[in-house]
Amino acid sequence: MDIFIKIYIVIFIGLNSLMLYYDGKKIYKSHKEKKERLKNSMENIEKQKQSLIKSFSRGIIKPNKKIVAHFSKEENEKFENILEKLKTENNKIYIFIQSMINIMPKESLIKFMDKVEDISIEYHSFKEAENNRGVITTGTYIPMKNQIKIYSDKNEVLYHELLHVASSNNEYNMVGFSTTFKKAGLFCNGLNEGYTELLNQRLFQSKTEGYIYLTYLALELENFYENKEDMMKDYFNNDIFSLIDELKKSMTLEEAVSIIANMDLFLNQTDVSFLDFLKLRQKIISIYERRYIQNEKTLVKKIINRN
Ligand SMILES: [Zn+2]
């Protein structure tokens, strides 16, 4: 072989190995950073859990909620007026409300109509959407400003954000199940996103790809409710305490807090793996099965005692 060709081959192999080395180093670095972020988040969650368990075991005194079965004459007139206005000014919100009339608790619907009156919706191009380590945010709702920002022309993105509007309590800075505790900080944002997306898909046949893991996990948790509509009521009433009470019928308080806290990790899908999702899903399913077996045992005992 010619000496020049030999040198060329050596240089070629050398360069290739060098490139492979740098690529490998880059991948390893990003993998290490990902692991580090996940470890920090998990440590924070552990600290958060202790304080949350204290809050939930103490419980809160719930005010007797007035259940408004019908709109008053005044409310009805106001409702009709806003609806009529929306029909011509914003057909998309009009369609959204039409679907929600029989679903939302009346009190939440009235609050929602108040917010809709002065809501601002900003449309942006997809290119302007925020890209956080590969996760693209196509819509946001900012409760304090009563403002929606949309980076997609798909209706489902708007409906997802409108569900946040409908389930938010701006006075207490709560959105659906997502609640900020004094000591523990923001909690249940993961389940809130998953459940919002679940409703979006169920009510508006939306085919979105956001929060896939969280939507599946929310669906698993919904199974613990005897009546699925009760979960929807708790969501619109921002009643995370009722949600925990419902879960406590089938699991310990620690288990309930731990599942919800771990779901918060899935808000950034790039940090968690499919395996992490399967593990958490399996944990929920095994608790569900445990409850089922316990119920069966009690039933058998009852039958034996009766005989
Ligand atoms: Zn959302």
Q: How far is the CA of 260 from the centre of ligand 1 (A)?
A: 16
pLDDT of residue 66: 41
- Residues having C-beta closer than 5 Å to ion ligand 1: 193
Q: How far is the CA of 4 from the centre of ligand 1 (A)?
A: 62
pLDDT of residue 276: 92
Q: How far is the CA of 246 from the centre of ligand 1 (A)?
A: 23
Is residue 10 included in any domain, yes or no? no
Is residue 16 included in any domain, yes or no? no
pLDDT of residue 292: 80
Tell whether the model's pLDDT for residue 149 goes beyond 90.
yes
pLDDT band, very low/low/confident/very high, at 29 (cuts 50, 70, 90): confident
pLDDT digits over 218-261, tens only? 999 999 999 999 999 999 999 999 999 999 999 999 999 999 99
DSSP H/E element including 97 = helix 91-100
Tell whether the model's pLDDT for residue 16 goes beyond 90.
no
User: How much is the mean pLDDT over the chain?
Assistant: 85
pLDDT of residue 67: 40
Tokens of 260: 């919800």
Q: Stretch 274-291: mean pLDDT, rounded?
A: 94
Q: Stretch 170-197: mean pLDDT, rounded?
A: 90
pLDDT of residue 263: 95
Is residue 252 included in any domain, yes or no? yes
Is residue 264 included in any domain, yes or no? yes
Q: How far is the CA of 215 from the centre of ligand 1 (A)?
A: 11
Strand, coil or helix: 182? coil
pLDDT band, very low/low/confident/very high, at 69 (cuts 50, 70, 90): very low
Q: How far is the CA of 64 from the centre of ligand 1 (A)?
A: 30
Q: How far is the CA of 196 from the centre of ligand 1 (A)?
A: 7
pLDDT of residue 210: 82
Q: Stretch 74-92: mean pLDDT, rounded?
A: 86
Q: Stretch 208-219: mean pLDDT, rounded?
A: 90
Is residue 98 included in any domain, yes or no? yes
pLDDT band, very low/low/confident/very high, at 62 (cuts 50, 70, 90): low
Q: How far is the CA of 140 from the centre of ligand 1 (A)?
A: 7
Q: How far is the CA of 207 from the centre of ligand 1 (A)?
A: 15
Q: Stretch 55-65: mean pLDDT, rounded?
A: 61
Total structural domains within the chain: 1
Domain, as residue range, for 162: 44-306
Tell whether the model's pLDDT for residue 65 goes beyond 50.
no
Is residue 3 included in any domain, yes or no? no
Contact in structure between 257 and 53 (CB atoms under 8 Å)? yes
Q: Give Cα separations from 68 to 71, 107, 112 (angstroms).
A: 7, 7, 15
Tell whether the model's pLDDT for residue 24 goes beyond 70.
yes
Tell whether the model's pLDDT for residue 63 goes beyond 50.
no
pLDDT band, very low/low/confident/very high, at 166 (cuts 50, 70, 90): very high
Q: How far is the CA of 193 from the centre of ligand 1 (A)?
A: 5
Contact in structure between 141 and 168 (CB atoms under 8 Å)? yes
Is residue 261 included in any domain, yes or no? yes
Q: How far is the CA of 37 from the centre of ligand 1 (A)?
A: 22
pLDDT digits over 108-148, tens only? 888 898 888 889 999 988 888 887 767 778 899 998 899 99
Q: How far is the CA of 286 from the centre of ligand 1 (A)?
A: 28
Contact in structure between 50 and 181 (CB atoms under 8 Å)? no
* Euclidean distance between CA atoms 45 and 192, whole angstroms: 17
Tell whether the model's pLDDT for residue 21 goes beyond 50.
yes
* Euclidean distance between CA atoms 267 and 160, whole angstroms: 16
Q: How far is the CA of 284 from the centre of ligand 1 (A)?
A: 23
pLDDT of residue 196: 96
Q: How far is the CA of 29 from the centre of ligand 1 (A)?
A: 30
